[in-house]
């Protein structure tokens, strides 16, 4: 009887987790950056992908635009801009963090 109760309880618990995840809202945003090279691309994508709630982050070096898919319940667009800024790059109207910018390689400083 205890095994049956445990299985039923476990099934209900796992079912509720699936429902919670199914309700996540995913949004897509484009953020203009100050990236100029492939190293910039790697740095920005890595910084964004470390943020909990980011599903995908891809930077187009030619357009300098980062396209980010994220969970709206966990993040705002300003959180994403801040992550880019802390990596040393401008993100829309958010200016780069000066200390992070100083640590960038020469090829990333324009």
**What pTM was estimated for this model as a whole?**
0.79
pLDDT in tens for each of the 110 residues of the chain?
555 544 444 454 545 444 455 578 999 999 999 999 999 999 999 999 999 999 999 999 999 999 999 999 999 999 999 999 999 999 999 999 999 999 999 999 97
DSSP string for residues in 25-36:
PEEEEEEEB---
Strand pairing of 65-71 and 54-60?
Answer: antiparallel
């Amino acid at each position: 009887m205890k095994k049956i109760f445990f299985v039923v309880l476990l099934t209900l618990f796992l079912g509720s987790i699936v429902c919670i995840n199914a309700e996540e809202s995913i949004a897509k945003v484009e953020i203009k950056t100050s990236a100029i090279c492939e190293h910039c691309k790697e740095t920005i994508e890595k910084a964004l992908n470390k943020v909990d709630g980011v599903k995908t982050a891809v930077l187009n070096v030619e357009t300098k635009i980062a396209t980010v898919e994220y969970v709206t319940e966990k993040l705002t667009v300003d959180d994403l801009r801040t992550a880019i800024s802390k990596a040393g790059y401008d993100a829309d109207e958010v200016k780069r963090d000066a200390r992070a910018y100083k640590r960038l390689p020469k090829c990333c400083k324009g």
